[in-house]
Amino acid sequence: MLFKDKNLLTIKEASEWASNHLDRSISISNISYLVQYGRVKKYTDNGNVYVNKKELLKYYQSYHGKREIQWKKNLGDDLNWHLSFDHLREVDTTKHVHRLHPYKGKFIPQLVEYFLDDHTDEFKKEVFFQKGEIILDPFCGSGTTLVQANELGMHAVGVDVSDFNALISNAKIKKYNFTELHDEIQKITNELRKFLAKTNIKEFDDELTAKLTNLNNKYFPSPDYKYRLRNNEIDEEEYSRKHVANFIKTYNDLVKKHNIKLEQDSEDTFLDKWYLHPIRQEIDLVFNLIKNIENLATKKIIIIILSRTIRSCRATTHSDLATLVNPVIEPYYCTKHSKICKPLFSILGWWTRYSKDTLQRLAKFNNLRTDTYQYCLTGDSRSINIFEEIKKRNSKFGGLLEKQKFAGIFSSPPYVGLIDYHEQHAYAYDLFGFERKDDYEIGPLFKGKGLEARESYAQGIADVLNNCKKYLAEDYNVFLVANDKFNLYPKIAELSEMKIVKIYKRPVLNRSERDKGAYSELIFHMKKM
């Protein structure tokens, strides 16, 4: 019988043993999490669940276990490791359409699933929403909540002040004619190849790549060079500067030989400043071809492919792609790859890669999608009439929405002074001609983090919630994901005449920034006061 094994502990006993052994609070839910995601084996006997003490000890001695203990030491024992989703790979957190286009500040889909779904987690006792209900995301961003609502059989409406954000969100949940989409992409790809064949770019790029490969193999061989760097055998700055300087003459000779025009004639716009002349020519070619596509849904998703492509083709270093510093028009030492890298001179590579990837992701989501309504409205969540705007676009959905109202909100408001949401997609606004509404952003980077900015932010979020309350069902649930370093959300709740009923403190493990230190965010559960 299992119960005769002295190493087997009930979930409660395991919690008590681990807390005593580690001299830290280890909750029952924490042990349950380890069982659910296979960190330790689950044993059952007469309906009772047990874990093996030896396996539990092995986990806490592993990388994952040590990280959990260290992060709780740094951030507090109230850190909800269950919401770390540390069992997931990047391919899981960026599944299907969630990676159609880069977007700063988005949360992972599993976080939405946890709070929206009623059966994703066998140890989760709280149920907030049911299939067929309608969810609101007043800070829609790139549409994560909309996509997951669809996957979970719920309706959803998003609102975002940014035209481009709304484009991304709606493109993700749209249904497509895949044959037509494939054909239109192929037509553009063929025209792009024809255009490139008429230039000297390919010959120039091939010769440059060959010479650069020889140089890197000789002076920056991997992994030997990286090993010497780690052991401080090389002064990275001086060594790299010398070899870059020596190679620039070779580069300039190739530019002259192939008669390549690098810079555009002006730097008046984002597209003028941050793209080399050959890249800009190809961008304009593809965009003009897209304009001729008749099917609006097909046209919009191909616009997303082009936008994703040109984001990767900006004239900057690999390490500065997310935060542009200075335009780069010649080879440079790449701190990310520890070798000399070069700018891009054609969009063809990224265009073909992203086109294929987009088709695959749309197809995967198409196999999961449910027959539900989702739409992202462009507008100011502080004042928009959601019912009227939805009725204009879909009368059936509008009628359902007025009858049921929103069961609640799941959203991630902007953080104070962290991101300029329009500026992160400046290339798209420049090319596609969307109207920029930077002044309508709540808590943008350009307004800073001072007292005035914080007060304005708190009032702005409260104004959004007060407007949204008009469209919520009586017993609503509101979940807001935030990093409340300035402790503004108690004030926001007060201004919104809501009460905070629970706060979940979640570790954020996979951040895109270079700082990989212990970091957490809060999920505020709010209800009617």
Q: What percent of the chain has pLDDT over 70?
A: 96
So what's the pLDDT on residue 149? 97
Model confidence at 320, pLDDT cuts 50, 70, 90, reads confident
Model confidence at 120, pLDDT cuts 50, 70, 90, reads low
pTM of the complete model beyond 0.85: yes
**From 79-83, 252-256, 360-364, 489-493, the region with the lowest mean pLDDT:** 79-83
In this predicted structure, the answer to whether residue 4 has a pLDDT above a threshold of 70 is no
| Tens digit of each residue's pLDDT (9 = 90 or more) over 66-98 | 888 888 888 888 888 888 888 888 888 899 999
In this predicted structure, the answer to whether residue 44 has a pLDDT above a threshold of 90 is no
So what's the pLDDT on residue 227? 84
Model confidence at 126, pLDDT cuts 50, 70, 90, reads confident
Mean pLDDT over 172-198 rounds to 97
Kindly list the distances between the CA atom of residue 392 and the CA atoms of 87, 132, 144, 460, in Å, as whole numbers in the listed order: 43, 21, 24, 26
Pick the residue with more confidence: 489 or 82? 489
So what's the pLDDT on residue 420? 87
Which domains does the chain show, CATH number per domain?
Answer: 2-61 (1.10.10), 90-174+369-496+519-528 (3.40.50.150), 178-360 (no CATH)
Model confidence at 1, pLDDT cuts 50, 70, 90, reads very low
So what's the pLDDT on residue 115? 93
Mean pLDDT over 43-60 rounds to 88
Model confidence at 404, pLDDT cuts 50, 70, 90, reads very high
In this predicted structure, the answer to whether residue 119 has a pLDDT above a threshold of 80 is no
So what's the pLDDT on residue 412? 96
Q: Yes or no: say if 115 and 333 are a contact pair by the CB < 8 Å rule.
A: no
Mean pLDDT over 340-344 rounds to 95
Q: Yes or no: say if 173 and 446 are a contact pair by the CB < 8 Å rule.
A: no
Model confidence at 514, pLDDT cuts 50, 70, 90, reads very low
Pick the residue with more confidence: 73 or 437? 437
* Rg value, the chain, Cα: 26
Q: Yes or no: say if 277 and 264 are a contact pair by the CB < 8 Å rule.
A: yes
Mean pLDDT over 265-293 rounds to 96
| Tens digit of each residue's pLDDT (9 = 90 or more) over 366-382 | 999 999 999 999 999 99
Pick the residue with more confidence: 500 or 126? 500
Helices (H) and strands (E) in the chain, counts: 21, 12
Structure tokens at 64: 């994952």
In this predicted structure, the answer to whether residue 513 has a pLDDT above a threshold of 80 is no
CA 130/CA 473 separation, integer angstroms: 13
CA 151/CA 1 separation, integer angstroms: 43
So what's the pLDDT on residue 306? 98
In this predicted structure, the answer to whether residue 347 has a pLDDT above a threshold of 90 is yes
Give the β-pairing of 48-52 and 8-10. antiparallel
Mean residue pLDDT across the chain: 92
